Every structure is written in structure tokens, then in C-alpha cells.
Structure 1
């Protein structure tokens, strides 16, 4: 109806008259154009493309890869979802949480993370002053509401969620609810991704114990050590976490708490190989091994997991090249 009204007004302003039949054809054509612009930058979703992207560019995270693939594919192919997709990524720094969010974005939008429909908020950068929480909350609500009203398939990434004040987390809550419609706008097609270091120590401890028991890393799944339950309990019991005082957990509005495991040397080596491509350096497995081994690892005796994951890999590679 909006298109029809727009066209009629346009014709009246232009002092143009058409027969009813021609007007219907014209309105139909305009509707196609309107729909095209509404879908601007939105890729036709392909679950196989997402699966391949995760397999080729997301290292050492078989649990996260599996949950992300299933959750995003199910959501994107559901013509009538009953709530927005809400994913919470948990793990220590450098394990690939930001990278995973970017992979989702580039499989939903033509411009990936650079799409105007992908909105990233960093807690300590965008909301630095506690005395301005009322202002931040109002601005955040307005930003989310206006973004989705313009483009229903908007994506919101909240980094450093563990440092976010509960008042700001509760500002997001209305948009995450089942059959969410806020001030006449439906949020059921929006995507929310929360990135957090909360639960990172629990995940690392479970992974290390699993290794010390002589188990293969890839045999560790969400239910094998009640990993998801342990993550949610850790978040809920963390007095420093904004989640503790927020209603988001209580009302079960997060669809998946996804663990990002600490990375091993072989995964860091894979990251180095990818960075060689980005730096236009001929891929060299020996050099990749040298760079990977030069990174710090823990525990001190076994040196199993990379302290910084794949962070600083590009800088370390650049030093070796120089």
C-alpha cells in the first residue's frame, strides 16, 4: 500500500492521469523496485557457502563452527521466525569471536562487515561514562529501532559484553523477545551477536582437562562436559558481569551460548598461512611453523594453548619477514 500511495501522490503532483489498469501495472513495477532497494546489500542465503567459509577460514573451533552453521542456517531459511537470532560467543582473547561474527556478516550481506546494516558496539568505547547511562540507553534503543525499521534484516554486534552495564543490556532486551514488536516495528528478522570473555577460564579449564585425560579435542562437544551449562552458570555467578543483573538470561532470550576453545599451535600455524595471503607473501609452511612457535603458550610446562590465540599473528609474521 505504501508503494501505491507513493505512486498516486507522484502522479497527482505531476498532473498525470492513467487508466486504472495501467496504474496497477505501474504500481506493480514500482513495488518490484521498492522491494529491490529494501533488499539492498542482502545476499541470497546459501547454507553450503556458510559451511565452506567456516571450514576454510575458521580454525580450531569445531563446536562454534557447528552451532553457528546450524543456528544461522535455520534462522535465515525460516520465513517466519518467532524471535530475533541471539548468539553469545564466549572465550578468551584471540580465539576467533570477532572473526566468527565477520564470517556471519559476509554470508548475509554483500559488503559483509562493511555493510551499512551491520552495527558494532564496543562497550568501553561507545559507552565509557557511567554517569551517562540514561543517555546511552535512550540512544541505543533509538539506534536499534531506527535501523530495523529501515532494514528488518539488520545485524548488531556487541563486543566486550562482559564489561557492559546491566542497564544497557536491559535496553536491548525488548528487541530480543519472542514475537518482538516494539512501537510497531518487528524485530524477528534481526541478528544479535554478543562477544564476551566471560566463561573463558571455564572453557579453557574444561578443554585442558579433556586433553589431560587423553581425549581428542574434536570429541569435545557441548554436552560431553555440560559445557553450555557451565558457561551460563559462570556468567550468572560472575559479580562483575552485567549479565548477572540483566533479565536477558532469566528470560532465556539468548538462543545459544557458544564456547570458543583455546587454540593450539597447529591452529595458530593455519592463521599464519592466511595472513601470508593478506600480506601478499608467498605461503611458506616452514615460515608459518617458525612464526607459530614464536608465540607464547600455556601451561608453562606443556605449552599446549596459545596465550593470545591468533591475535598479533600478522604483526609477528611481519617481524619475521623484515
Structure 2
């Protein structure tokens, strides 16, 4: 029945596009008759087309809490704070039928610690098409907003992009990468969309998700992680309260953060500042083994250790944390295989 419906939809599209006139020896009268018959059939199954073209409906947008939790536990390494926050924040927000405002997450930490990875996990467990969904929108500062002289134009464009996409689908996701390279003041242009408004010009933004990714604040996070390590404490003892306030202040006062002096922080519109801790040697090994598994390769701890040893660590004398996290392991693994 499923295949029959698919064929009917395709034929309906063919007839409606006018291509039926080019098919011989079908006459115009027969084509019109077919169109009428198909119209009647589709009227009996009004939701058929929704299964073949992505739209803003539960068939395409449905949160998989178990899937996200498994991904965070099994694929994100060394990030116990981020794992807990992301799981609770996303689950609580998506399952709230009437949120008061959009979900706003600001992810901070050095490169290769998992910020982009987590954004992808959220998308994959919320949208059927994952990162390829037409409702997931990624902005990269150096690509979309490169020139300081055009900041006013960027502000207007950004507002229009967000308004247009949320109008199209209330459950849209916006990911802002490289926030530390964004023009200061630009992000303030979307402040009204993140605030506690039921509607703005007839549009509700309360079910949208905004995620900011930034290296800013990485120094403060690393400093805290080093202090715990020097004190002989386990990194899992680090709590959100040890970092969140200092992290938000560090980002707010950093001219290179993209969130410098922003009203989003001043007005408490960022729901969570999520710290991503620097990764240790053992975490890099876990990343390599996970990449092997993703490629259907036999896990080889010998090769995983070789890849991990090739990376640069800091402080230089102790070699505690990977300078690039897990970011370069794919190319390193290619070399060894």
C-alpha cells in the first residue's frame, strides 16, 4: 500500500506539472480524467504528501530523548557537565507544550571538545533529516558576517532570516558557529526573538532553539580544570556552579567573544552557559576508537594510542590536555590506515 501511494503521488505530480501532455498516446481528456481521479484519491488521504516531503509536522519533527541520552553517554567523551545540562535542558524544553521563551544555549570551550558534535546530536534526535533538515539553520561568522562595515545590513538580514524561518516552522533551530569571531553588537539584533514575548508581529518564537558555539571562555574553563588536576581532584568533581558565573562574566567582558557587553547576557536570556572541558589523553583514545567503530573498522587500541600520542598537549611539561581535542583524529586515523 505504501508503494502504491508513492506511485500515485508521483503520477499526480506528473499530471499536475503538465508533463502528461507529452506522453503518447494519452489524450488530454484521459489526462484530465486521471487528474480528477487522483484528486479524489488524495482527498481520501490528506496526509499522504507529508510523508514524501519534509514539513513542519510530527512526522518530521519528533524528539527522541533516549536517542539523545545514548548519544551523549556513548559518543561524547570527557564532558560530564555538558552531558547533564544538554539532556535536561533539551528534554525539558521540547516536552513543554507552552514554553515562555525559546531555548538558548551557549556552548563554550576549546576547539575539538564536542560543541559542534553536540549541536549535531540535538538536530539528529529532533529532526528526521538531522542537520540536513530545512528547519536547521547554521550561521558561521566568517562566512555570513565577515565585514564590520556592513554590520547594519547583517542585522537586518539576520532578523529577516530568523523571522522568515520561524514563520515557516515554529520549531526551527539556529546554530551560530564561531561566536568568538562575530562582529560585536550583531547578535543583539535578535534579542527580541529570544525574549519573553508571546508574539512579535504575529509570529511566536517560543518553540525555537538557538545555540551559540564559541571558543571564548576556554581559558577560564581550562584554568579551572588545571586547578582541579593540580589539587589531585577528579575532573568529574567539577560542577556547573564552579564555572557558570565566571564563564558568563568572562564572555561578557571579552571583546573577542561576540557576546561582549551583549544585552542577551545582561537581560538573562541565555538559559545555560555550557562549559566543555579540555580533553585528556584517555578521551582522545576513546574518540579514535569511536571513529573506528563508525567506519566499521575493528577497534585497535594500538592504533588509537598511536593517534593520541601524535597530538600536542599542554602544559608542555605535564602533557595533560589535548590542544586540539579530538578535532584532528580523522586525518590522523587516515594516515595510520
187-196 or 171-180, which deviates more: 171-180
Which residue number in structure 2 is paired with residue 237 of structure 1? 253
Contact 2:253 2:261 (8 Å CA) reproduced: no
Separation in structure 2 between the aligned mates of residue 137 and residue 180 of structure 1, nearest angstrom: 22
Separation in structure 1 between the aligned mates of residue 201 and residue 335 of structure 2, nearest angstrom: 53
Determine whether 1:271 maps to 2:293.
no
Distance 1:60 1:32, change over 3 A: same
Which residue number in structure 1 is paired with residue 145 of structure 2? 127
Separation in structure 1 between the aligned mates of residue 46 and residue 108 of structure 2, nearest angstrom: 45
Of 72, 85, 89, the residue aligned with 2:107 is 89
SS in structure 2 of the partner of residue 120 of structure 1: strand
Determine whether 1:100 maps to 2:115.
no
Distance 1:85 1:183, change over 3 A: same
Separation in structure 2 between the aligned mates of residue 32 and residue 82 of structure 1, nearest angstrom: 33
Separation in structure 1 between the aligned mates of residue 176 and residue 109 of structure 2, nearest angstrom: 15
Which residue number in structure 1 is paired with residue 237 of structure 2? 219
Separation in structure 1 between the aligned mates of residue 234 and residue 329 of structure 2, nearest angstrom: 26
Deviation, 1:183, is 1.5
Distance 1:138 1:290, change over 3 A: same
Contact 1:175 1:181 (8 Å CA) reproduced: no
Of 172, 177, 180, the residue aligned with 1:154 is 172
Contact 1:84 1:187 (8 Å CA) reproduced: yes
Deviation string 1:23-44 (CA, Å, 9 cap, x unpaired) is xxx9997589789943166343
Separation in structure 1 between the aligned mates of residue 253 and residue 152 of structure 2, nearest angstrom: 26
Deviation string 1:231-284 (CA, Å, 9 cap, x unpaired) is 011112213333223211111100000000000111111111122234443221
Determine whether 1:189 maps to 2:207.
yes
**Structure 1, gaps ≥5 residues long:** 1-25
Determine whether 1:39 maps to 2:57.
yes
SS in structure 2 of the partner of residue 193 of structure 1: strand
Determine whether 1:256 maps to 2:272.
yes
Separation in structure 2 between the aligned mates of residue 71 and residue 238 of structure 1, nearest angstrom: 26
Which residue number in structure 2 is paired with residue 23 of structure 1? none
Which residue number in structure 1 is paired with residue 84 of structure 2? 66
Separation in structure 2 between the aligned mates of residue 310 and residue 299 of structure 1, nearest angstrom: 17
Of 221, 232, 240, the residue aligned with 1:203 is 221
Contact 1:94 1:310 (8 Å CA) reproduced: yes
Separation in structure 1 between the aligned mates of residue 316 and residue 76 of structure 2, nearest angstrom: 26
> TM-score by structure 2 length?
0.82
Of 242, 246, 260, the residue aligned with 2:262 is 246
Separation in structure 1 between the aligned mates of residue 196 and residue 48 of structure 2, nearest angstrom: 30
Distance 1:37 1:91, change over 3 A: closer
SS in structure 2 of the partner of residue 38 of structure 1: coil
Deviation string 1:147-179 (CA, Å, 9 cap, x unpaired) is 110111000000111221233201121110013
Number of residue pairs matched?
295
Distance 1:199 1:37, change over 3 A: closer
Of 297, 312, 319, the residue aligned with 2:328 is 312
**Structure 2, gaps ≥5 residues long:** 1-41
Alignment RMSD: 2.2
Which residue number in structure 2 is paired with residue 298 of structure 1? 314
> TM-score by structure 1 length?
0.86
SS in structure 1 of the partner of residue 71 of structure 2: helix
Larger Rg: 2
Separation in structure 1 between the aligned mates of residue 229 and residue 133 of structure 2, nearest angstrom: 40
